[in-house]
Chains A and B, each alone.
Chain A
Amino acid sequence: MDLNYGQEYEDFRNEVQSFIKTNEKVNLHGAKLRSPERVEWQKKLIDHGYFARSIPKQYGGFGGEVDIIKTRIIAEEFAKSPIPKPLGGQGIQMLVPTLLELGNEEQKQTYIKPTLHGEMIWCQGYSEPNSGSDLASLQTKGELDGEEWVINGQKIWTSTAKFAQMCFCLVRTEPEAPKHQGISFLLIPMDSSGIEIRPIMQMTLDADFNEVFFTDVRIPKENIVGERGEGWKVANSILGHERGSLADPNVTMTRLNALINLMKDETIDGQRIIDKDSFRDRLLKIQGRVLAQQSNSLRILSGQINKDQNTSMARLITKLQGTELRHELEALAIDAMGELGTLYENSPHLRDNGSWQMSYMYFLGLIIGGGTSQIQKNIISERGLGMPKEPKVQGN
């Protein structure tokens, strides 16, 4: 056991901290995607190596060496501070790693840089009305017509489709092939004619996700990542990236500290909530679980540095555990506020801009999105514990 990162890294931490201190006034609240302020901030983070650190310069990254510890230090320090975080989103978290791994040179040149810099927003067109957990049953159709793919069908729950310039999409291109082998991974410009987007109102009262309809949408033949019929493989190569990023324990720890402060500030009959035994015990239970997940994440980090360390089970459980815990943490904040916890939008007496209700609902969305908790448990028991798969239903 050696938790020392070493002097080089402590120096690096200081450097990150002083960057954060210098920029603590930066506030992008309300700044739209692709707005000049956002793009400028993103560029600044890349120039300092605090984002896209190990992505080559030629693709718009910082061009540093892969250094997991530095990446971790950056994440830890940014999580502690209210300054704007680097842009996330499906383009950055999912598409960029996919292209780096499986894209051709031209695709890398064309797409990675504007994506990293926040100039090109992507949406993920996977789910369909009849294909959610059973994603591989998807039916949106792609046919090659000369030099173009012609796409017909419908996607649903497509987050940020309204703002996106591009969609990475799973499309059935080989109808005769078995279900997992008939899918291709296509890159579709969202301004193509034949695309219609209908926003869906969410329980949060935002409309981040959408239905996307494709009617004879034509895109160039070369807008495919990997070969025809390899789309399932391509998509799976990065699902892990998404899962790991959904509930970072460092962010949860920051949120826990905010909850502690909230429970010190809020009172009932003049008594602080944190001084009430029942609430305090719930808080401490959650704190124990956050600490367990943080220890687990250190183990995972160590597994990335020390290749002979097996951390596969530790990794397999993080999406399930992280999203469920975060949802419960937000729920405690609401309970601590009681009736006040139900306030939303711009109500009088609202606390923290309504962020507790917002996150409470948002994390329920993350429990469902990216593979539901039940699907996670299937994966953990089958891949992790070696238990049998569900017997196949005939004709499926």
Chain B
Amino acid sequence: MYFGLSEEQVSLQETIKKYLEDQAPLEVIKEIAAGDELKTIEIHKGLLDLGISSLLVPEEFGGLELDLLFAAVVSTALGSGTAPVPFIGAYVMAPLALNLGGNRSQKEQWLPKIASGEVLMGIAISEFIGAREDSGINFKKGKVNGRALFAIDAKNSDALIVSNKAGQLFLVHTGSSGISQTELITVDKTRISTEILFKDVKAEILPESEKDLGIINKVIDAGRIMLAADSLGAAQVMLDKAIAYSLERKQFGRQIGSFQAVKHMCAEMVAELEPCNAMVWHASHCQENIPHEARLMACHTKAHISEVSREVSKTAIEVHGGMGFTDELGLHYWFKRIGLNRQLLGSPELVREEAAKIQNFDQASDDDNKGNDEVGNPLVV
């Protein structure tokens, strides 16, 4: 029995962190936030060279065929570095959707190119989880119509994975006629969310997703664990920065880190955050190895870490006093990243609702033995 990261996983995480520290330090993140797209492309390219696009792609399609825990450690590292690059949609959810839902020829067409970094595939499935305003996607006679909000990694993409409310997955070319995409401006300037309008856009179904409505949940669960991991990485950096600052800054003739109020804020942060590492590892491991716990762990990991990281992001800024509130110090990049992660693919409240459904808490019929064992029980509303 070994519960923890392997040497390879640790070294992958370190490599990516190191790369981001060197190539995407805060000054660079600030330039990107101000609109420098060339820098984004450069960093994206560097990370592709480190293999981030090929982690989950099967070997027969040119990938590394690693398990989700590898993706989780990468996501944690990207969160630490507030990496301004596509990952969760393009290199985790998209290959999973294709691999689980696609037919042979779709896999052959797309997976190798995802692995090699030639193709960027966005994800537009927020409406399956919870449609805001009048958004939503319909599929009829090979055409997709409707509107998707908060598409992930869709900007500059070559193709998109889209879903309808029933949880079927479709593939469209982003360049097809009838598609228009608008950038949404969120607080988080390190990643771009978009709104996509579909008017009679030619689409192909991922055929397995029509038969097995559990597939979309697996894709979402993986995405949720990645978001949790990203927030974990971001929150850990904020905590580290708070401790470092508390040892530097002096007031009343002593380090502020020697004041118990400050020490206890830090102790509370680490006491909440430390178990989140184990939780992300555990949830990732369950996806492929312990199917009956997979859904519940994914939901709870997303919800719990969203809560913990929000609290850490607030407290870490408080420890910095007025400096923490400045743009210059830049703590807000991590703060805002955590803020966006929290809402994507379901806010903690929604995800906990789903965790309740998985366990059949919401049914007055007291049929207890169902929920938990039903793998990928589709959430058709």
Interface residues of A (CB under 8 A from B): 1-6, 69, 260, 264, 272, 274-275, 277, 280-281, 283-285, 287-289, 291-293, 295-296, 298-299, 301-303, 305-306, 309, 313-314, 317, 320-321, 374, 376-378, 380-382, 384-391
Tell me, rounded to whole Å, the shortest Cβ–Cβ distance linking B244 to chain A. 10
The CA-CA distance from A310 to B241 in the complex, in Å, is: 22
Q: Assess whether A302 is in contact with B266, with CB atoms less than 8 Å apart.
A: no
**Which residues of B lie under 8 Å from residue A389 when comparing CB positions?**
258
Tell me, rounded to whole Å, the shortest Cβ–Cβ distance linking B76 to chain A. 15
Q: Assess whether B281 is in contact with A1, with CB atoms less than 8 Å apart.
A: yes
**Which residues of A lie under 8 Å from residue B270 when comparing CB positions?**
313, 317, 380, 384-385
Most A CB atoms within 10 A — which of B274, B289, B303? B274
**Which residues of A lie under 8 Å from residue B272 when comparing CB positions?**
321
Q: Assess whether B364 is in contact with A380, with CB atoms less than 8 Å apart.
A: no
> In residues 268-303 of chain B, which contact A (Cβ within 8 Å)?
268, 270-272, 274-279, 281-283, 285, 289-290, 296-297, 300-301, 303
**Which residues of B lie under 8 Å from residue A376 when comparing CB positions?**
267
- Nearest A residue to B269 by beta-carbon distance? A385
Q: Assess whether A291 is in contact with B297, with CB atoms less than 8 Å apart.
A: yes
The CA-CA distance from A377 to B243 in the complex, in Å, is: 14
Tell me, rounded to whole Å, the shortest Cβ–Cβ distance linking A70 to chain B. 12
Q: Assess whether B4 is in contact with A284, with CB atoms less than 8 Å apart.
A: no
Given A3-B285, A387-B257 in contact, is the A302-B352 Cβ separation under 8 Å? no
Q: Assess whether B282 is in contact with A295, with CB atoms less than 8 Å apart.
A: yes
Interface CB pairs A-B, < 8 A, 24:
A1-B281, A275-B364, A284-B303, A288-B303, A292-B275, A293-B275, A299-B4, A299-B278, A302-B3, A303-B4, A305-B1, A305-B2, A313-B270, A314-B275, A317-B270, A320-B271, A377-B271, A380-B270, A385-B243, A385-B263, A385-B270, A387-B258, A389-B258, A390-B258
Q: Assess whether A384 is in contact with B267, with CB atoms less than 8 Å apart.
A: yes
**Which residues of B lie under 8 Å from residue A280 when comparing CB positions?**
352, 356, 361-362
The CA-CA distance from A160 to B308 in the complex, in Å, is: 38
CB of B200 within 8 Å of the partner chain: no
**Which residues of A lie under 8 Å from residue B352 when comparing CB positions?**
280-281, 284-285, 288
Tell me, rounded to whole Å, the shortest Cβ–Cβ distance linking A98 to chain B. 27
Most A CB atoms within 10 A — which of B5, B300, B353? B300
User: Assuming A283-B361, A292-B275, what are 19 further A-B pairs, CB within 8 angstroms?
Assistant: A1-B2, A1-B3, A1-B69, A3-B285, A264-B361, A281-B352, A291-B282, A291-B296, A291-B304, A292-B278, A309-B4, A313-B274, A317-B274, A320-B267, A320-B271, A321-B271, A377-B268, A380-B270, A388-B257
State which of B5, B254, B353 has its C-beta within 8 Å of the C-beta of A1. B5
The CA-CA distance from A382 to B275 in the complex, in Å, is: 19
Q: Assess whether A387 is in contact with B275, with CB atoms less than 8 Å apart.
A: no
CB of B180 within 8 Å of the partner chain: no
Tell me, rounded to whole Å, the shortest Cβ–Cβ distance linking B12 to chain A. 14
CB of B311 within 8 Å of the partner chain: no
State which of B69, B243, B278, B303 has its C-beta within 8 Å of the C-beta of A298. B278
Q: Assess whether A3 is in contact with B1, with CB atoms less than 8 Å apart.
A: yes
**Which residues of A lie under 8 Å from residue B281 when comparing CB positions?**
1, 295, 299
Q: Assess whether B2 is in contact with A380, with CB atoms less than 8 Å apart.
A: no
State which of A69, A260, A317 has its C-beta within 8 Å of the C-beta of B271. A317
The CA-CA distance from A99 to B279 in the complex, in Å, is: 36
Tell me, rounded to whole Å, the shortest Cβ–Cβ distance linking B275 to chain A. 4
Interface residues of B (CB under 8 A from A): 1-6, 69, 243, 246-247, 254-255, 257-258, 260, 262-264, 266-268, 270-272, 274-279, 281-283, 285, 289-290, 296-297, 300-301, 303-304, 307, 349, 352-353, 355-356, 359, 361-362, 364, 366
The CA-CA distance from A264 to B300 in the complex, in Å, is: 20
Q: Assess whether A385 is in contact with B69, with CB atoms less than 8 Å apart.
A: no
The 4 closest A-B pairs by CB, nearest first: A288-B304, A302-B3, A296-B275, A295-B278
Q: Assess whether A378 is in contact with B307, with CB atoms less than 8 Å apart.
A: no
**Which residues of B lie under 8 Å from residue A306 when comparing CB positions?**
2, 4
**Which residues of A lie under 8 Å from residue B260 when comparing CB positions?**
378, 390
Query: Interface majority SS on A: helix, strand, loop or mixed?
Result: helix
Q: Assess whether B1 is in contact with A4, with CB atoms less than 8 Å apart.
A: yes
Q: Assess whether A1 is in contact with B285, with CB atoms less than 8 Å apart.
A: yes
The CA-CA distance from A277 to B353 in the complex, in Å, is: 8
Q: Assess whether B263 is in contact with A284, with CB atoms less than 8 Å apart.
A: no
State which of B2, B264, B274 has its C-beta within 8 Å of the C-beta of A374. B264
Q: Assess whether B264 is in contact with A377, with CB atoms less than 8 Å apart.
A: yes
**Which residues of A lie under 8 Å from residue B278 when comparing CB positions?**
292, 295-296, 298-299, 314
Q: Assess whether B266 is in contact with A274, with CB atoms less than 8 Å apart.
A: no
The CA-CA distance from A388 to B243 in the complex, in Å, is: 11
Q: Assess whether B279 is in contact with A291, with CB atoms less than 8 Å apart.
A: yes
Q: Assess whether B2 is in contact with A387, with CB atoms less than 8 Å apart.
A: no
Given A374-B264, A388-B255, A391-B254 in contact, is the A317-B275 Cβ separation under 8 Å? yes
- Nearest A residue to B263 by beta-carbon distance? A381
**Which residues of B lie under 8 Å from residue A303 when comparing CB positions?**
4
The CA-CA distance from A314 to B274 in the complex, in Å, is: 6
Given A275-B364, A314-B278, A381-B263 in contact, is the A289-B3 Cβ separation under 8 Å? no
The CA-CA distance from A118 to B270 in the complex, in Å, is: 39
Q: Assess whether A387 is in contact with B304, with CB atoms less than 8 Å apart.
A: no
- Nearest B residue to A2 by beta-carbon distance? B2
The CA-CA distance from A377 to B4 in the complex, in Å, is: 25
The CA-CA distance from A317 to B257 in the complex, in Å, is: 19
**Which residues of A lie under 8 Å from residue B353 when comparing CB positions?**
277, 281, 284
**Which residues of B lie under 8 Å from residue A320 when comparing CB positions?**
267, 271
**Which residues of B lie under 8 Å from residue A302 when comparing CB positions?**
1-4
Tell me, rounded to whole Å, the shortest Cβ–Cβ distance linking B212 to chain A. 26
Tell me, rounded to whole Å, the shortest Cβ–Cβ distance linking A73 to chain B. 11
The CA-CA distance from A299 to B277 in the complex, in Å, is: 9
Tell me, rounded to whole Å, the shortest Cβ–Cβ distance linking A320 to chain B. 5
- Nearest B residue to A294 by beta-carbon distance? B282
**Which residues of B lie under 8 Å from residue A313 when comparing CB positions?**
270, 274
Q: Assess whether A281 is in contact with B300, with CB atoms less than 8 Å apart.
A: no
Given A302-B1, A378-B263, A387-B263 in contact, is the A284-B356 Cβ separation under 8 Å? yes
The CA-CA distance from A347 to B246 in the complex, in Å, is: 53
The CA-CA distance from A302 to B281 in the complex, in Å, is: 13
The CA-CA distance from A375 to B301 in the complex, in Å, is: 29
State which of B255, B257, B279, B355 has its C-beta within 8 Å of the C-beta of A292. B279
- Nearest B residue to A303 by beta-carbon distance? B4
- Nearest A residue to B69 by beta-carbon distance? A1
